[in-house]
Structure 1
């Protein structure tokens, strides 16, 4: 008895169960009967009038659930809705392989993407990033959201409709992958509407790294997100940065990425330029400088800083007017 009273997980599940009941109730009364055009319009209205994403969770989750049925023939189970709520709140949700983590992620990704600051899904390898973006792409594109994928070797992609005309026609004709009249949770594969499946196909097109990050939702690996962050901190001009900020992210296999792989640091390195001549030149200059006149030493922080006199001396030796001018960076 005491375990049930004081078990935090039990309290959380009870809280989430009530929210799931509200999602199901809203889905039945406000969403399920809408045609494709009305469903698209409903989402647009919510997006435009939304002030706080937390207040819109029930409506958005219900819409995403219905769109997944219509474009993929997949339905979020109640436990998957609970997983989506937990991920939205920044909690760790443990799910076994095959329990639908990829589908669960669509719920909080769509919700957090509505703030217009980008939502990231961090996977463990490049194959999963491409596969999951393509697999769930129809849900996002149906709602008018853009989806990007970042891969190694500076390869970046955007998910787009394979045939936009077919999609437009399918929406107009209210085509749905989910079998008409089927009231279960998992429809037989042969019962899915093949014409709708064909219409809602997506593909990848190459795009710039920056454009991939400007998409509403971006899939990629932890290494690529990390190295892009490091590279962005090395650029001289802000226009050369590819990431636009860090607003919301879901980390797949979080124990592996934040514990196991985190023990290996991300390091950007490359061959030195210009050989050793430059080092010899500055070594000769350094011998002409006097401590406490041309430079000061901070023993505690182990740093050496040039004084004004030292700065003037170095500029004369190098033959430049301003050592910190951007043109003198090299």
Structure 2
């Protein structure tokens, strides 16, 4: 290899899903596969997730849903971010459930003239303020959805929301607000097949938010969404980023990876990679090359440095790189660019 490679351990993802699903045994498990399964490769991940117990997939947008349908995926799909160009009719005909967050979206679905009745999940904002209908407008929103349902233009199948994850206390209060909104909707005549509220954090910390469906994203890939580390939660990071040594002169080595590949351009002075049996501190990250301090290490051209991974070779994990970069673990793995080669190992490697 002449450049960086992202090695994906599919078995780790499967094990993580099984472990997380066991925390909510009475809830269906939706795996979020947005952003190419957080940089892990959507189609290989879907294969192993299906075996591990995921019965739904969350696609963020309908285009990702179309790609899964074209690949032969038949499980229920849920898309919840829509723009002006979203083809709601095509989504309904592809049997993609739609998360509806505004009155305008609701009207657009109702006017889509889909040959298959669109299935919609009505979202109420319980405090995150990232989409959803405000509480004062909720009753009017539900009434309009039921009018469109009575006219045969859509089917109301679920109510849902996002939690803010600011604290357990705040999320618990939001869960109460959500269930109150559901009760209001039912009093108006809504009959929901599904209620879903909790994502990765709530799955781990808030059992009362599990409901009919849990939506799990980054935790399934072995990155913790809470204060405890992935290791403390019994999860294994599934992605390992490596890069070959291009040059080793004196106390420094040049690695074939840079911010053009998606790693943090200005990590803290504590950042290091695993190299030649030790830790090499990062001195500079350029667009294509990273310079590290290889003092005391027998680093040779062609050796492999591990930038981040599960820690098997003494490397930092993505969570630690997120701390060094002042960001979150999601960004570390999803930020890897297309020029980074991918490889897969473990069960059902494709």
Q: Normalised by the shorter chain, which TM-score bucket? A: under 0.3
Structure ranking higher on relative contact order (CA contacts 8 Å, 6+ apart): 2
TM-score by length of 2: 0.23
The structure in which a higher percent of residues are helix is 1
Largest Rg, 1 or 2 = 1
The structure in which a higher percent of residues are strand is 2
